[in-house]
Amino acid sequence: MNHIKNFFKEKGLYLFCLALVFAATAAGILALRSVVNNMTELTQLRKDALQEDSTWDQPDTAVNNPASDVPEPTSTPSAPPSASDAASGASSAPAAASAAPSATAAPSAQPAASSAFWQGEPAAAFSGDELVYNETLGDWRTHNGADYAAKTGDAVTPKQPGKVTAVREDALWGGVVEITDAGGLVWRYCGLADPEVKTGDEVSAADTLGKVGEIPAELHAEPHIHLECLKDGAYQDPAAAVG
């Protein structure tokens, strides 16, 4: 026992210091493990946060994107009657406006009995592919014919002689008479009241087709005849075309 007591007396300080070293080491290890665990948890939290940020939902927003290819009706057409497309709409083939200059002289070669308004300039010209505003229908569309001013009740004779191929009443264009001339052009006279011809009739430039009436699709315009000209189903400029 004395040896043990003497050992602790002599070595007690060393043993105490060694115990302190072990305790400090153990505490350091525990602290290090705690730091490592905290870093691991923090890393995991950051990964979770990044994943949540990458899967955000885009909020719904109202979009106001008006059509840019339709002109705004900021001004009315310069021509007195705002002409509109025929029932076939604006899907017709582009008009061939490259007729020879001599074509404009064709009406003067007709007999004097032909309607005088064919000799003048149209009140509303053929528009080809260009959209024009129709005041009656309130929309923009191509004008597939030419409008010739006339007085209500005036007699209408053909611009070109030929064979009557159709006589009908149209909801937009009123009384319609179609004539196919010797050159294969189809002339469509719209806005006729009391047609005086029938399908199959051969007509000359002196024959009366009917009288100037109303055109439901162009009621905002002054009284006129809407004349269309087609070649192989494609609209032509009536003011320039000849049979």
Q: Does position 11 have pLDDT exceeding 70, yes or no? A: no
Q: Does position 206 have pLDDT exceeding 90, yes or no? A: yes
Query: For 127-143, what is the mean pLDDT?
Result: 94
Q: Does position 213 have pLDDT exceeding 60, yes or no? A: yes
List the Cα angle 12/15/17 in 5-degree steps. Answer: 110
Distance CA(79)–CA(222), nearest Å, equals: 11
Share of the chain above pLDDT 70, in %: 65
- Report the DSSP pairing between strands 202-203 and 174-180: unpaired
Cβ atoms within 10 Å of 108's Cβ, excluding its own: 9
Q: What is the pLDDT of residues 92-124, one digit of tens each?
A: 333 333 333 344 433 333 333 456 778 888 999
Distance CA(131)–CA(83), nearest Å, equals: 10
Contact indicator for 230, 186 with CB cutoff of 8 Å: yes
**Confidence (pLDDT) at 224:** 95
> What average pLDDT is seen over the chain?
76
Q: What is the pLDDT of residues 183-200, one digit of tens each?
A: 999 999 999 999 999 999
Beta-carbon contacts of 164 under 8 Å, excluding residues fewer than 6 positions away, are: 177, 178, 179, 197, 198, 199, 200, 201, 202, 203
- Residue bearing the bigger pLDDT, 145 or 93: 145
Q: Could you tell me where the DSSP H helices lie in 55-113?
A: none
Q: What is the pLDDT of residues 23-63, one digit of tens each?
A: 888 887 887 787 777 777 777 766 665 555 544 444 444 44
**Confidence (pLDDT) at 133:** 95
